[in-house]
């Protein structure tokens, strides 16, 4: 579903944020991307989502090169940044309709999907109000709904559990499994190692822009915990 | 005091950064911010120099040179208001950093005063650069006082800048209050307030132009009129020109007292005001009905329209040219007989005034002030990720942004040129040429604005006002548009003898079309890459 080959990104100031990254996310997989602050997680996710330009390496989503066929690749993708800024001047329902229009979601489907997710996240009653009046958590829920109604083949999430209440977090985990159940894939970054350990089929750990470990969660963790593995890797060379 | 100084520094930096040309090295960017401010000051200097010497030349022979200082001080306040009246809402009350700032260990009074000072500095730049040439013209045309006059005038100017700051503060508060309290209706009220303020400006400027036409006969009346609402200006003129200490003290009191009063009133309740302004009306009883559906481009167009019509500062700053165009065309139609009489008189006098080129110049000038695309990328701000993530190409985004400007401009142009054709008695061919010129220029300026914004994006502005009124791309697009009109006029003058007054408009049309082709090519190649790099 997602293939990242020899991806590198150097920022204008000269900082090499990611160096020769290779990753593959198969259909049906929830893939966790872990690393300390500034390790290169967000840079990678933004490049995968086609939000950020890059010159080294190739990224393909469902067979579409994100640089050569960005529209086709984005059509099957949904991306949620860590702090999603939405249009404050639109109401919640206007924003969801706007996204549904951009992704050509048929009228009947969008109605049913908006209803399903808005009711689950309990924000149906607020959909008529301007987004500017929403709390941070409500904005995050709205952004999540806007991603889920697309029924994406690849869902890319940057720290999706930050700011969500426990009920919404639980719901989200269920929806991630649902996407994988219908042949999609999820690629997300997180600092919540317990969640990653329980939820992800595979995990990759990045440090200073370089992939230091990647594999099936059970094999990677072994008899230890993900936290211990992560801390050991962080300790090496520091 | 150190905290207050830090706040003032921060606000002044924010103001300067809004003028900066994005990208490049730090020092170069900082210099470009200062450079843009200097450019605006030079523009004020030029305008003031022209008006001051024109006034002084007419008033000196009748011994009423003092009126020149008086009128220029009014112009300084009006100019200051033009630039800061609509900015105060965002700068003083609507900062996106309100929560951060109010959480700091500084008093709300200090915070508000620091923000007000940034506004005052902006006004001071305009008033200084308008009053200094006025002073020079006064001395050149024989006004007395010498160095003392200049010192008193400078001192008065420092206080004069408080006047537009005072009015901007009040206007900004009313707009901010309306935005916070009235929900959806606030947009309508804000738009009406902007329109009313603009109408007042226009009336003031028209009166000034009338007075300028025959200053000598109006002189006595003007001085008399200033003993009422314009007493502070009269006191300023008396203080500077006659060295009247009592007038100076009176003027300072007129400027300082209301300013301090309003600062004191707002500052004492600043936290409350900002908190209540931030609280948007929200409901939790929405029931999901039938959800509408349309295509991607239509959705993007609706979003552009929502932003444009829902942001008064954007609507009036970028779309004022269209309102004026329609207003002028309607006025021409209403006053058709008077206009016809005037044209007949001019023709009889053998002035050889070509009606079509003049109409084309007026239409093109007004169109060149329409800058809807110029701040449109910057206004996406931190929400730009939504467009970049969407399955729509950069070119598709450009088409929508340019298309939205044209969707407003072309129908307005069509209506206004038809009105003008009736009012001026233009033939069908003349009308077609007038419309074609306007349409080509509209496309060209829309593309230019978008390209300028891609070159000079401002995605981290503290508020929309800064983007719309002060960003570098808006200034470049406005000057570029006017430059195009000027180039077209030069081509007309150069080819008029050869082609005649009607056909000589064609080189201008070709220039605008060539501009469209070049700019679209730039957008389709470099523009797409620039968009990706944002």
Mind telling me how many Å the CA of B387 is from chain A's nearest CA?
Answer: 9
Among candidates B298, B311, B533 on the partner chain, residue whose Cβ is nearest the Cβ of A101: B298
Q: Which chain A residues are Cβ-neighbours of B299 within 8 angstroms?
A: 97-98, 101-102
Could you tell me which residues come within 8 angstroms of residue B15 by beta carbon, excluding any fewer than 6 positions away?
B91, B118, B121, B122, B466, B470
Interface probe with B: pick from A128, A134, A136, A158, most Cβ of B within 10 Å: A128
Q: Compute the average pLDDT of residues B218-241.
A: 75
pLDDT digits (tens, 9 = 90+) for A193-235: 888 888 888 999 888 888 888 888 888 878 778 888 888 777 7
Q: Compute the average pLDDT of residues A1-10.
A: 90
Instruction: Give which of B322, B364, B319 is closest to B486, Cα–Cα.
Output: B364
Q: How far apart are CA B89 and CA B119, in angstroms?
A: 11
What six digits make up the tokens of A59?
Answer: 């990224």
Neighbour tally for A67: CB within 10 Å: 17
pLDDT-derived band at B24 (thresholds 50, 70, 90) equals very low
Q: How far is CA B32 from the centre of its chain?
A: 20
Mind telling me how many Å the CA of B226 is from chain A's nearest CA?
Answer: 44
Dihedral angle of Cα B441, B442, B448, B454, to the nearest 10 degrees: -170
Mind telling me how many Å the CA of B463 is from chain A's nearest CA?
Answer: 13
Least reliable range by pLDDT among B103-107, B336-340, B475-479: B103-107
**Which residue in B has a C-alpha nearest to residue A96's C-alpha?**
B291
pLDDT digits (tens, 9 = 90+) for B429-454: 999 999 999 999 999 999 999 999 99
Dihedral angle of Cα A58, A63, A69, A75, to the nearest 10 degrees: -120
pLDDT-derived band at B209 (thresholds 50, 70, 90) equals low
Q: What pTM, to 2 d.p., does this model score? A: 0.74
B82 vs B23, higher pLDDT: B82
Q: Parse chain B into domains and list their residue ranges.
A: 2-278, 296-533
B93 vs B160, higher pLDDT: B160
**Which residue in B has a C-alpha nearest to residue A11's C-alpha?**
B533
Considering just the CA atoms, what is the radius of gyration of chain B in Å?
25
In three-state secondary structure terms, A79 is: strand
> In 3-state terms, chain A is what percent helix, strand and coil (to 5)?
40, 25, 35
Which superfamily is assigned to A1-76+153-238 in CATH? P-loop containing nucleotide triphosphate hydrolases (3.40.50.300)
Residues β-bridged to residue A21: A7
Give per-residue burial for B434-471: e unless 16+ CB within 10 Å, then b: bbbbbbbbbbbbbbbbbbbbbbbbbeebbbbbbbbbbb
**Which residue in B has a C-alpha nearest to residue A70's C-alpha?**
B391
Among candidates B293, B390, B532 on the partner chain, residue whose Cβ is nearest the Cβ of A74: B390
Calculate the alpha carbon distances from A121 to A112, A117, A143, B399 in Å: 14, 6, 11, 36
Torsions phi, psi for B227 (to 5 deg)? -75, -10
What per-residue confidence (pLDDT) applies to B30? 53
Tell me whether A153 touches chain B (CB under 8 Å). Answer: no
What per-residue confidence (pLDDT) applies to B418? 93
Mind telling me how many Å the CA of A192 is from chain B's nearest CA?
Answer: 25
pLDDT digits (tens, 9 = 90+) for A92-119: 999 999 999 988 888 888 989 999 999 9
How would you list the strands of the sheet with A16-25, edge to edge?
A16-25, A2-10, A56-61, A64-65
Among candidates B281, B287, B299 on the partner chain, residue whose Cβ is nearest the Cβ of A101: B299
pLDDT-derived band at B81 (thresholds 50, 70, 90) equals confident
Tell me whether A208 touches chain B (CB under 8 Å). Answer: no
Residues β-bridged to residue A5: A58
What per-residue confidence (pLDDT) applies to B23? 46
Give per-residue burial for B224-245: e unless 16+ CB within 10 Å, then b: eebeeebebbbbbbbbbbeebe
pLDDT at B145 over 60: yes
DSSP per-residue string spanning B164-185: HHHHHHHHHHHHHHHHHHSTTH
What per-residue confidence (pLDDT) applies to B397? 92
Q: Which chain A residues are Cβ-neighbours of B300 within 8 angstroms?
A: 102
pLDDT at B182 over 90: no
Mind telling me how many Å the CA of A142 is from chain B's nearest CA?
Answer: 13
pLDDT-derived band at B114 (thresholds 50, 70, 90) equals confident
What per-residue confidence (pLDDT) applies to B533? 83
Most confidently modeled range among A20-29, B21-30, B112-121 = A20-29
pLDDT digits (tens, 9 = 90+) for A52-100: 888 889 999 999 998 888 888 999 999 998 888 888 888 899 999 999 9
pLDDT at B499 over 50: yes
Q: How far apart are CA A186 and CA A202, in angstroms?
A: 10
- Contact flag A98-B299 (C-beta cutoff 8 Å): yes
* Average pLDDT, rounded, for chain B: 82
Q: Which chain A residues are Cβ-neighbours of B302 within 8 angstroms?
A: 98
Q: What angle do CA B480, B481, B485 make, to 5 degrees?
A: 115
What per-residue confidence (pLDDT) applies to A50? 87
Helix H, strand E, coil C: the string for B276-306 is HHHCCCCCCCCCCCCCCCCCHHHHHHHHHHH
Could you tell me which residues come within 8 angstroms of residue B463 by beta carbon, excluding any fewer than 6 positions away?
B90, B91, B94, B95, B96
Cβ(B284)–Cβ(A92) under 8 Å?
no
In three-state secondary structure terms, B526 is: helix
Tell me what ipTM this predicted complex has.
0.84
What per-residue confidence (pLDDT) applies to B278? 62
Q: Parse chain A into domains and list their residue ranges.
A: 1-76+153-238, 83-151
What per-residue confidence (pLDDT) applies to B217? 61
DSSP per-residue string spanning B238-255: HHHHH--HHHHHHHHHHH
- Contact flag A98-B303 (C-beta cutoff 8 Å): yes
Q: Compute the average pLDDT of residues B220-233.
A: 70
**Which residue in B has a C-alpha nearest to residue A78's C-alpha?**
B389
What per-residue confidence (pLDDT) applies to A155? 93
């Amino acid at each position: 579903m997602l293939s990242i080959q020899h991806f590198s990104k150097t920022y204008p100031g000269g900082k090499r944020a990611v160096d020769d990254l290779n990753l593959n996310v198969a259909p049906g997989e929830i893939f966790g991307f872990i690393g300390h602050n500034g390790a290169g997680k967000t840079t990678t996710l933004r490049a995968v989502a086609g939000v950020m330009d890059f010159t080294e390496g190739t990224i393909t989503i469902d067979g579409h090169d994100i640089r050569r066929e960005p529209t086709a690749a984005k059509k099957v993708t949904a991306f949620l940044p860590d702090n999603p800024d939405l249009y404050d001047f639109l109401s919640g329902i206007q924003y969801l309709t706007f996204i549904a229009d951009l992704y050509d979601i048929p009228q009947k489907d969008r109605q049913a999907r908006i209803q399903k997710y808005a009711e689950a996240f309990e924000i149906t009653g607020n959909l008529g109000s301007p987004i500017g009046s929403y709390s941070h958590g409500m904005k995050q829920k709205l952004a999540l709904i806007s991603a889920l109604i697309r029924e994406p083949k690849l869902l890319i999430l940057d720290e999706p559990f930050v700011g969500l209440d426990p009920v919404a977090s639980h719901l989200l985990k269920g929806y991630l499994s649902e996407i994988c159940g219908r042949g999609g894939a999820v690629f997300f970054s997180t600092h919540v190692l317990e969640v990653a350990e329980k939820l992800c089929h595979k995990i990759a750990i990045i440090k200073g822009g370089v992939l230091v470990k990647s594999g099936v969660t059970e094999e990677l963790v072994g008899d230890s915990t993900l936290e211990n593995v992560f801390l050991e890797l962080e300790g090496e060379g520091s | 005091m150190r905290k207050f100084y830090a706040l003032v520094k921060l606000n002044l930096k924010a103001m300067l950064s809004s003028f900066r040309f994005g990208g490049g090295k730090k020092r170069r960017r900082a210099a470009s911010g200062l450079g843009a401010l200097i450019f605006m000051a030079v523009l004020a200097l030029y305008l003031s120099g022209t008006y001051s010497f024109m006034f002084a030349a007419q008033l000196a022979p009748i011994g009423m040179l003092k009126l020149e200082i008086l009128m220029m001080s009014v112009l300084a306040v009006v100019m200051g208001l033009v630039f800061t009246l609509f900015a105060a809402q965002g700068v003083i009350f609507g900062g996106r950093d309100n929560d951060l700032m109010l959480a700091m260990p500084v008093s709300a009074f200090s915070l508000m005063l620091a923000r007000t000072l940034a506004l005052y500095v902006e006004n001071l730049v305009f008033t200084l650069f308008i009053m200094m040439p006025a002073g020079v013209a006064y001395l050149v045309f024989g006004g007395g006082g010498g160095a003392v006059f200049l010192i008193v005038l400078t001192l008065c100017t420092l206080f004069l800048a408080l006047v537009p700051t005072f009015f901007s503060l009040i206007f900004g508060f009313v707009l901010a209050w309306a935005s916070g309290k009235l929900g959806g209706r606030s947009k309508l009220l804000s738009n009406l307030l902007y329109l009313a303020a603009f109408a007042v400006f226009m009336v003031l400027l028209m009166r000034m132009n009338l007075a300028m036409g025959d200053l000598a006969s109006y002189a006595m009346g003007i001085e008399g009129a200033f003993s009422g609402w314009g007493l502070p200006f009269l006191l300023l003129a008396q203080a500077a020109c006659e060295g009247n200490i009592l007038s100076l003290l009176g003027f300072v009191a007129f400027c300082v007292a209301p300013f301090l009063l309003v600062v004191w009133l707002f500052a004492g309740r600043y936290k409350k005001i900002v908190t209540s302004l931030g609280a948007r009306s929200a409901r939790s009883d929405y029931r999901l009905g039938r959800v509408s559906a349309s295509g991607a481009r239509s959705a993007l167009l609706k979003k552009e329209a929502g932003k444009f019509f829902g942001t008064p500062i954007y609507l009036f700053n970028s779309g004022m040219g269209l309102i004026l165009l329609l207003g002028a065309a309607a006025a021409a139609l209403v006053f058709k007989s008077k206009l016809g009489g005037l044209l007949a008189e001019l023709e009889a006098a053998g002035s050889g005034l070509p009606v079509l080129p003049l109409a084309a110049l007026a239409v093109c000038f007004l169109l060149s002030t329409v800058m809807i695309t110029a701040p449109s990328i910057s206004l996406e701000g931190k929400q730009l990720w939504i467009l970049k993530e969407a399955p729509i190409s950069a070119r598709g985004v450009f088409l929508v942004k340019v298309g939205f400007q044209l969707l407003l401009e072309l129908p307005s142009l069509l209506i206004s040129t038809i009105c003008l054709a009736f009012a001026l008695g233009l033939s069908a061919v003349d009308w077609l040429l007038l419309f074609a010129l306007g349409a080509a220029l509209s496309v060209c300026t829309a593309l230019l604005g978008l390209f300028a914004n891609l070159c000079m994006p401002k995605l981290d502005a503290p508020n929309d006002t800064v983007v719309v009124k002060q960003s570098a791309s808006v200034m470049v697009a406005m000057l570029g548009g006017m430059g195009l009109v000027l180039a077209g006029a030069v081509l007309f003058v150069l080819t008029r003898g050869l082609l005649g007054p009607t056909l000589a408009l064609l080189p201008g049309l070709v220039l605008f079309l060539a501009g469209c082709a070049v700019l679209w090519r730039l957008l389709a190649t470099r523009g797409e890459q620039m968009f990706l790099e944002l």
